[in-house]
Structure formats: structure tokens, C-alpha cells
Chain A
Amino acid sequence: MNLLDKLKIDCEFVSSYLIEFVRQEITKTGLTKAVIGLSGGIDSSVVAYIAKEALGKENVYGILMPYKLSSKESVEDALKVVKDTGINYKIFEITDPADAYINKFDEMDKVRKGNIFARLRMITLFDHSQLYKALVVGTSNKTELLLGYGTWYGDMASCLNPIGDLYKNQIYQLARYLRVPESIIKKKPSADLWVGQSDEEELGFSYDEADVILYHLYDLHYTIEEVVNLGFKRELVRGIADRVKRNQFKRLPPIIAKISKRTINIDFRYLRDWGL
């Protein structure tokens, strides 16, 4: 058995489940609309197709937020999704606010800049969610959430996330099922935070490798040794396991110093859907 076969999903059930998730978790708050940051990448494209099915195209707003150095291809691909789904869209360039901030500093490395872009996009999405009386639907997949390959309170910020329990490989399966445009499925994954960025080059491993290793370590409870025995280099498996541990903070709200007998999220425990 090909190791990736273990990540096969039943796209019919999973997509109808995610459509219900988006519809119910939004409408039970009294709202009916969604705002999605459309990057032209596979994750936000899949989310747009799901949201359109859940809420109807007139209730979904795709916001394209290019920076002056973003690839032209990204905008073109995002517009293909807009055209195909018929959702509302808006192009909101983040160049001016980003440069206004960046120019306050003599120099700035690309990671800081990347974080600023991601957080300006977060501000834009949440502002538009207030403008349209909508919720921000997140687009972080399980692979990047586990690896911590995202900006805390940037692209990782949302009100609800339909794809956070799907590995990158599973996003591709869903994309094919939902008939996401071929150019989006075929291109190399990139956060497009700087010119020529490639996720897999930056991470130092492929998404397929990461998915298989993460799935065995965390979904199937394999030990590092057992994953190495599947045919992976020890340093790679250790490196990935280490990233997951180091980035746990990004997956949780801030910790609170306990003083009282009833501390928020420690022993004051309620779901967000309280009363909904």
C-alpha cells in the first residue's frame, strides 16, 4: 500500500460535511455571510467553493489582497475562482499600508515583512467582516497548522475554519472533486510573501512527505522510530516532530495566569457555541 493512500478521504461525505459545518456554524450566530481571503492558492480556493455551496454565492465575499511584488498569477487564479463560483469579490491592495509601516524602519528582513503582509490581510478581512456583517472563514490546513507554517494572528486568524483537519494532500483530493481550476491544482504551493517563494523549498521537505510523517506520528500514534522504519530519514522525522512541538503556542489562545478559583479556559469551561 502506498503510504499516501492512508490519507484518502471520501470527498462526497467530507465536502457535504464541511458545507453543513460552514452553513450551521455561521447561521447559528445570526449571520448569513462569509469573508474569505482569496490568494489564488489551493486552500482558499477550496474554501471558496465550500462557502459558496453553504451560503449561496451572493453571501460570500472573496477579498484579493495583493502586495506590489505579489505574483500576477496569484491574482489571475483568484479571479478564476471568483468567475467560476460567482461569489462577490474585491481587490484591496495592501501595498500602501504595508509600505507606510515598513518605511518606518531602515531595514527589515523578509520574515518580518511576510508577517506584516499576513497581518495586514487579517486586518482587512476582519474589517470587511464588520462591513458586510459576515464571519471570516479561515484557510489554514492541518499540515501548516501542525508545522506552525503560518503567521500567528495573521493568516492563522479566522472565526471558523473548515479545512483545519485536512492535510495538504487531502485538500488536493477535495480540490479535484470540487473542480477547482486546473492551473491552481497544478502550480507549486507558495505563500507568495516574497518573489519566487516556494513552500516546499523553504520548509526543506515536500508536503507529501510532511503529510505522511504527520499522519503517522499524530493520527496513528506511531513513534519516531516506527516512522523512520517506513523509509524516512531520522533527521527529517525528528525535525518535523520538533516543529510541531515548538509551534504549539500558535494553535492556542494566550495563556492566562491563574489567580482566582475560576479562571477563563482553565476552570471556566464553555464552548464557543454556548447558547447557540
Chain B
Amino acid sequence: MKIAIGQIDTVLGDVEKNVKKLEHYTDKAIEEKCDLIVFPELAACGYSLRDLVYTSSKAPDDPAFLSLKEKSNYIDIVFGFAQKESGYFFNSSMYLSNGEILNIHKKKFLPDYGMFEEQRYFSPGQTIDTFKTKFGKVTTLICEDAFHISSHYAAFKNETEILIILSASPFWSDHNSMKWELWENVCKTSAQLNGYFVIFSNRVGFEDGVGFFGKSFIVSPKGHIIKEASFLKEELFTAEIDLRDIERARLFMPIRKNEVCNESVG
């Protein structure tokens, strides 16, 4: 299976321009014979929307996404967008396949500390769902979702095979840490303990001085980073994975086999 990550910058609040870019990279990924392309969190509208949430949010069946839907006949597409529903707003991801919406995930854990204001504008999703795709069982998380153990537990419980994380993660560093180490640690551990692939798709670009660092990557079910995209640069990043590695990892460490999961969590 060939995976593409569209590690892109966005135009803040301009859905039309951003969706054009998603279409452009999707076409490139189709040309490169990829099976799945994953874009970052809020890729259709930009991250720090503040009051732009009101004008940048769309219903999933909005005509703005029609062309992407059409393209999903040739490649599965996952992207982040601001979702409008009954007058409320959600930080969501859409999984498109065979010309249809296969899944919508609404971000469950909205950060509201430090520089983050998501909970001020968005309503939280209620669940972490796992759904069947042509490649196996997929769970999508959006950024902060992945910092909650319960999300990984839900993916584990549901026997996820590919964990997809859409992110708009800002750069920070200090003398003993770089922001991406946090992501690498979380994703490698989750992959290793749960025996699945993790696809981490992060944004690049700056919004009023806040820089999204990129460095998107894919982790194997044994917990190794297969390939990592570059720091700060917009690019279409592709990698081949062998889905049989999931079974091989689970033969090596059959952790799920011996656990009766708590159905009330996740």
C-alpha cells in the first residue's frame, strides 16, 4: 500500500483556495499511484480561525467538497475541516472513499490552555470511532485527541489497524526538548503497544508568528518511524507500507489477545 501525506500550508479562512490545494495534491498523489492521502487538521480552512470559524465552517455535503469526493473514486482522502451543524461548529476530519463520505470524526478533546482557544469556538465530539476501509480498520484522531490515553485505548479496543492523526502542531523548544519528540514518543509507543500503523500528518506554515513544524511521519506496527517529512517545508510525502506487518507485529507481541476490554471507555 502506498500512502501520501499532504504536508501543506493553508490560507487562513479561505476555504476555496485551500480546497484547490487539497485537490492539487490529491491529483499528484493519484499520479504517483498512492492509495490514501492524509491532510492535516483544519486543512480546508486554516487553524487559528477565531471569529473566522463562523464563515469558514461547512456541512460535510457542502458543494465545496464535491470535487474531492469525486477524486475519492481513485484514492482514499482524509482531511480536516471546520464543520457546521445545527448552528454549532466542530473541528472535524472527513474520510472519503469510492465517491462517498465513509466517516466523519469530530475532535473530542479541544485544547483551551496556553495558546489554544479551540473550546471557545468548537463543540467537542463525543466518541472515538473505528471504521472499516478497504485497507483495514481505521481510527482517526485530531491532534489533542492523541494526547489522551483513552483515545489510544479506544483504538486498541476496536482492533484498529491504521491510526490516522491529523495535526496542526505548533513549534516550540527548550534546552532539553523539541516539540516533535513528544509526537514521536506518543506515536511510536501507541504503534508498538497496539500493533498498528500510525500516520501523523502535520501542517506547515505560520499564522501570526506561530509556526507549524511539519515533520509528518509514518510509524510501523513495531514502533519504528518508516519515513519522516521535512521540517517547515510544504511537500507531498509518500511511503510504501506492507499491511502484513500488522499481523507480523501481533504475532511477535500479541497484547490484545490477553485483554478483556472495558466497553465503557473510548
State the A residues within 8 Å of B (CB).
5-10, 13-14, 16-17, 20-21, 24-25, 160, 219, 268-276
Contact = CB atoms under 8 A, between A and B. Distances in A.
26 contacts: A6-B174, A6-B175, A9-B173, A10-B173, A13-B173, A13-B231, A16-B231, A17-B171, A17-B211, A20-B206, A20-B232, A21-B206, A21-B211, A24-B9, A24-B206, A269-B51, A270-B52, A271-B12, A271-B50, A271-B207, A273-B12, A273-B48, A274-B12, A274-B13, A275-B11, A276-B12
B132 to A, nearest CB: 39
Contacts of B48: 271, 273
B112 interface: no
A3 to B, nearest CB: 11
A247 B11 CA distance: 34
Nearest to B12: A273
B209 A21 contact: yes
Contacts of A274: 12-13, 52
Nearest to A10: B173
A24 B11 contact: no
Contacts, number: 57
B175 A7 contact: yes
Contacts of A5: 175
A25 B11 contact: no
A273 B207 CA distance: 6
Nearest to B46: A273
B209 A160 contact: yes
A266 to B, nearest CB: 11
B16 to A, nearest CB: 11
A25 B51 contact: no
A17 B12 contact: no
A159 to B, nearest CB: 12
A198 B24 CA distance: 56
B14 A24 contact: no
A273 B52 CA distance: 11
A20 to B, nearest CB: 5
Contacts of B14: 275
A267 to B, nearest CB: 8
Given A20-B206, A25-B209, A270 B50 contact: yes
Given A20-B232, A21-B211, A273 B173 contact: no
Contacts of A21: 206, 209, 211
Counting chain B CB atoms within 10 Å of each CB, the highest count among A6, A10, A219, A275 belongs to: A275
Contacts of A160: 209
B178 A13 contact: yes
Interface string B1-28: 0000000010111100000000000000
B263 interface: no
B178 A10 contact: yes
A24 B207 CA distance: 10
Contacts of A14: 173
Interface in B183-221: 205-209, 211
Nearest to A25: B206
A16 B206 CA distance: 13
Contacts of A269: 50-51
Nearest to B233: A20
A6 B178 CA distance: 14
A9 B175 contact: yes
Contact of A17 (B13, B50, B175, B232): B232
A149 to B, nearest CB: 21
Given A24-B206, A270-B52, 15 more contacts: A5-B175, A9-B173, A9-B175, A13-B173, A21-B206, A24-B9, A219-B174, A270-B51, A271-B12, A272-B208, A273-B207, A274-B12, A275-B12, A275-B13, A276-B11
Contacts of A24: 9, 205-206
Contacts of B206: 20-21, 24-25, 273
Contacts of A25: 206, 209
Contacts of B13: 274-275
Nearest to A1: B175
Interface in B47-98: 48, 50-52
